[in-house]
Amino acid sequence: MLGNFSYHNPTKLYFGEDSLNYLMDELKNYGENVLLVYGGGSIKKNGLYDEIIAILKDCRKTVAEVPGVMPNPTVEKLNEGVAIARENGSQFILAVGGGSVCDYSKAVSVSVHCDDDPWQKYFIRFEEPACEIVPVGCVLTMTGTGSEMNGGSVITNHETKQKIGHVFGDNVMPKFSILNPRYTMTLPKYQMIAGIYDIFNHICEQYFSGEDDNTSDYISEGLMRGLIHSSRIAVEDPQNYEARSNIMWTATWALNTLVSRGKTTDWMVHMLGQSVGAYTDATHGMTLAAVSLPYYRYIMPYGMKKFARFATEVWGISAEGKTDEQLANEGLNAMEAWMKDIGLVMNLTDLGAADDMIEGIADGTFILEGGYKVLARDEVIQVLKASMG
Amino acid sequence: MLGNFSYHNPTKLYFGEDSLNYLMDELKNYGENVLLVYGGGSIKKNGLYDEIIAILKDCRKTVAEVPGVMPNPTVEKLNEGVAIARENGSQFILAVGGGSVCDYSKAVSVSVHCDDDPWQKYFIRFEEPACEIVPVGCVLTMTGTGSEMNGGSVITNHETKQKIGHVFGDNVMPKFSILNPRYTMTLPKYQMIAGIYDIFNHICEQYFSGEDDNTSDYISEGLMRGLIHSSRIAVEDPQNYEARSNIMWTATWALNTLVSRGKTTDWMVHMLGQSVGAYTDATHGMTLAAVSLPYYRYIMPYGMKKFARFATEVWGISAEGKTDEQLANEGLNAMEAWMKDIGLVMNLTDLGAADDMIEGIADGTFILEGGYKVLARDEVIQVLKASMG
C-alpha cells in the first residue's frame, strides 16, 4: 500500500428482504417535495411502485414523477428531469430502479440548482458541482453498477454519440440505499448475467494496475472468488436467494471506492464498452464482456506478474513448473471459460456492431492513464477489431 | 448472504505519509475547546505532540489535556477524563495514540453529558447513550484494534477484575481518523506482533461462524491472506513501509463491521482474552494468541466444514484425498506455525497467568452466543487449562 488517499463513504445501506421497512424512517429526514424517478414501469407490474407510493403518502410527501428513465439515460431525459424537479421544487429524489435510474438521479441532483448546462459542465468539462445538491435515496431493483454507494453517473448523448461517466464526490453519493435481493429476481436472465459481468469487470478494472503489494488486491481477489462461485449458482438457479444476495452485496463493494484505495486505474474496458454502448445501445455489461478478453490479452505483456497472480489467486491454477506468461495465459483462459459458461456475449458483432462503426467507436473511446499500457489509437482499433469475433 | 442488516460507517479516513495535513481542515468543523487525549508520552519524544499542538494553535483552539491513558484504560481514568472534559467545556476530543486511546476517548465522549455512572450504564448494563455525544477524531499511532473506524470501547475495572467492551453505534464512531503508517514504525516489535495477531483474530472471530455461503467470508479470506503475507515481511523488516501500511489498512477493515455483515458472532476468543487481560494486564493481542488455538481446536468439530475451508482458502492447503477433519487440523497447524514464526506468545503462563487464576478468569469470561458452540463453564476451564502451555 503506497501513496496517500482518503476514504469516506457515508451512504447508509439497508440490506435484505425486510429492507424497505426502513424507507419511512429515512424519508422523515428530508423535505416534503419528493421527485420519484423510475424506469420502464416494471415496478408498476410487480407492486413495488404501489408500496412506495403508500409509504410516501404515509409520510405526507408531495410526489412528482419522472418515469421512463431508459437503460442508457440520455441528455434529453436529464434535461426533462431537471425541469420537472424545478417546477415541483423537489427537495429529495427517490430513485427506484437499477444503476441507470440511480446514475440519472444523481445527474439530476447536481443540475436542479445549477445555472450552467449540465451536459457541458459535468460530462464534457468534468467540473464539480458548486450549487446546492438535492439529496438522493435509492431503492435498488437491479444489481451491477454499484451506483447505490458511489458518486458515479453515466449519461449518453446520442447526437454526438458520446456515453460519458463522471464520478462525483461523497456529497453526491446516495444518502441511503435499500438493497432487497428479491427485487432483482424478476429481472430477465440476460440482464442478470450482464450485471454479473459488470461487477466482475469493476473489480478487474481496479485490480489490473500496479505491481505493488496492496491490501486492495487481496480484497479484490476475495470478492472475485465469491462472485465466480455465486454466479455459477445463480445462472443454474436464478431464484437462489443466497447466490443473488451475495451478488448484490459484492456489486456494492466492487465499486464504492474501497478496492481502488492506494491504486491508479485507467478503466479502459469501460472506456471501450461505453463507446460501444453509444453506437449500439447494447446492455452495458455485455459491451464490457465483448471487449474484455481482446483488451486483457493485448495488455497482458505489460502486467505479466499481475496476470500470473490473477491465475493462481483468483482461479486457483497451480503455478508449479510454469512461467509467468504461461500462468497469465491460463488465467485469462479460465476467465474466458467462465464467461462462456455463464452465457455472456463474447463479441461485438453479436451486439449489433458492424465493421464500419469501428473508427467511430475508437473516436469515442477516452484513453486514460493509470493502467499497464496507455493505448495509442491504432491499438484501440486493433482491440476493437479483435472484439468483433 | 442471509438475513437483514444495515451498514453505515461515516468515519472519514485520511491515509498515508501526508495524512496529518488534513487535520487542520477537519478541526475547523468543530468547537473551540478541544480535549487532547494521549498515552504514555511517546508522542512527546517523537515530535508528534509538538506538531499537533502547533496545528491546534493555528486553528485557535483552546486545549485541555488528558495524558497517560494506559494500555488497558481503567474506569478511574475514564472518570478523570470526564471530569477534565466537563471543567473545560470540551467540544471535541482529539485522540492521539493507539486503540486504547481511541477506545478511551469514545468512552469519555458518551459520558461527558451523561448524568449516570458511565461504567454502570455502558459497561455493566450495556445501555446506549441518550445524551449529547462529544465528537471524536483520531490520529492513530498503533494499529490493531480497528478503533479508528468503529464504535467499540473497552474499559477495565481492576477492583472487580472486569475488562468489558461495548460496541456503540455509528453516532459514536470517530468523525475522522488520520492513519499514517510511519507513526506505527517506532513501536517496539513485541507490540507490532501483538497488533498483527489482534487484527488476524478480529477476522477469525467473524469468519468462524455460520456454514452459509456469505460474501463476508470471501472478503475475510482476502484480508487474512494479505495480512499473513505482510506480517512475514514486517517481522523480518519492521521498517518496510509497504508491509506496515498494508497491515494498518487491513486492521481498519478487519473491524469496522464490514466482514460481519450477514453473520452472527460470539467473539469468544476476545471474551477469554479480555478476562485474561483483567488478571494479568498482558498486552491484548498476546492474550488472544495464547488462548486461540486451544479454543479453536476445541470448537473445530462443531464447525468442521468452515475449518476445512479455512485450510484450503486461507492457507492454500490442497484438499486432495483428505477428509474435512484432516483439512481442518492441517489449517490450524498452519496457523500455529505462522503464529510461532512471527513470534507470538503461545501460552498463558508466559503472560504471567498462574493456575490459581483460572477459576477467576473463567468467572470473568462472558459467554456469548452466535458461534459454533456455546461453551459451558467447565469447557471454558478446559480451554483455559489447555492454554496454560
Instruction: Say if the Cβ atoms of B213 and A230 lie within 8 Å.
Output: yes
Percent of chain B with pLDDT strictly greater than 70? 99
For residue A21, the chain B residue with the least C-alpha distance is B4
CA distance A375 to chain B (A): 29
CA distance A356 to chain B (A): 43
Q: What is the phi/psi pair of residue A97, to 5°?
A: 160, -155
Contacts of B245 in chain A (CB under 8 A): 1-2, 262
CA distance B46 to chain A (A): 21
Looking up cell 424519508 gives: A27
- Joined together, the cell numbers standing for residue B369 give 452466543
Confidence of residue B213 (pLDDT cuts 50, 70, 90): confident
- CB B92, CB B174: distance < 8 Å: no
pLDDT in tens, chain A (389 residues): 567 999 999 999 999 999 999 999 999 999 999 999 999 988 999 899 999 999 999 999 999 999 999 988 999 999 999 999 999 999 999 999 999 999 999 999 999 999 999 999 999 999 999 999 999 999 999 999 999 999 999 999 999 989 899 999 999 999 999 999 999 999 999 999 999 999 999 999 999 997 778 999 999 999 999 999 999 999 999 999 999 999 999 999 999 999 999 999 999 999 999 999 989 989 999 999 999 999 999 999 999 999 999 999 999 999 999 999 999 999 999 999 999 999 999 999 999 999 999 999 999 999 999 999 999 999 999 999 999 99
Instruction: Say if the Cβ atoms of B16 and A10 lie within 8 Å.
Output: no
* Helix, strand, coil fractions of chain A, as percent rounded to 5: 55, 10, 35
Q: Identify the pLDDT of residue A2.
A: 63
Instruction: Say if the Cβ atoms of B246 and A18 lie within 8 Å.
Output: no
Contacts of A148 in chain B (CB under 8 A): none
Report how far apart, in Å, the C-alpha atoms of B10 and of each of B79, B171, B177 are: 28, 9, 11
Average pLDDT, integer, range B286-311: 97
d(CA A383, CA A293): 9
Instruction: Say if the Cβ atoms of A6 and B18 lie within 8 Å.
Output: no
Instruction: Say if the Cβ atoms of B225 and A245 lie within 8 Å.
Output: no
d(CA B144, CA B169): 20
Instruction: Say if the Cβ atoms of B4 and A13 lie within 8 Å.
Output: no
d(CA A251, CA A144): 5
d(CA B145, CA B273): 14
Confidence of residue B3 (pLDDT cuts 50, 70, 90): confident
- Joined together, the cell numbers standing for residue A329 give 495465459
CA distance B179 to chain A (A): 10
For chain B, give every residue range classified as CATH 1.20.1090.10.
189-386
Which of A7, A213, A253 has its CB closest to that of B13?
A7
Contacts of A317 in chain B (CB under 8 A): none
Contacts of B318 in chain A (CB under 8 A): none
CATH 3.40.50.1970, applies to B12-183: yes
d(CA B145, CA B165): 12
Contacts of A341 (CB under 8 A, 6+ apart): A232, A235
Select B189-386's CATH number: 3.40.50.300, 1.20.1090.10, 3.40.50.2000, 1.10.1740.10: 1.20.1090.10
Cβ neighbour number for residue B298 with a 10 Å cutoff: 18
State if pTM tops 0.90.
Answer: yes
CA distance A259 to chain B (A): 11
ipTM for the predicted complex comes to 0.95
d(CA B162, CA B148): 23
Which of A8, A221, A243 has its CB closest to that of B222?
A221
Which amino acid, one-letter code, is at B293?
A: L
pLDDT at residue B210 greater than cutoff 90: no
CA distance B299 to chain A (A): 25
* DSSP strands (E only) in A19-157: 33-38, 62-66, 92-97, 136-140, 152-157
Task: Name the nearest CA neighbour of A217 among A259, A169, A160.
Answer: A259
For residue A212, the chain B residue with the least C-alpha distance is B242
Q: Identify the pLDDT of residue B134.
A: 98
Greater confidence (B114 vs B161) lies with B114
Measured distance between the N- and C-terminal CA atoms of chain A, rounded to whole angstroms: 39
Instruction: Say if the Cβ atoms of B1 and A218 lie within 8 Å.
Output: no
For residue B10, the chain A residue with the least C-alpha distance is A10
d(CA B20, CA B52): 9
d(CA A230, CA B262): 16
Contacts of A242 in chain B (CB under 8 A): 1-2, 212-213
Report how far apart, in Å, the C-alpha atoms of A95 and of each of A34, B142, B213 are: 10, 42, 30
Which of B15, B215, B243 has its CB closest to that of A249?
B215
* 3-class DSSP assignment, residue A94: strand
Instruction: Say if the Cβ atoms of A226 and B218 lie within 8 Å.
Output: yes
For chain B, give every residue range classified as CATH 3.40.50.1970.
12-183
For residue A254, the chain B residue with the least C-alpha distance is B219
Contacts of B12 in chain A (CB under 8 A): 6-8
Residue-wise DSSP of B113-129 = T--S-HIIIIIIS-PPP
Number of residues that this document lists for chain A: 389
Contacts of A221 in chain B (CB under 8 A): 222, 225
CA distance B228 to chain A (A): 11
Instruction: Say if the Cβ atoms of A225 and B218 lie within 8 Å.
Output: yes
- CB B199, CB B150: distance < 8 Å: no
d(CA B37, CA B62): 14
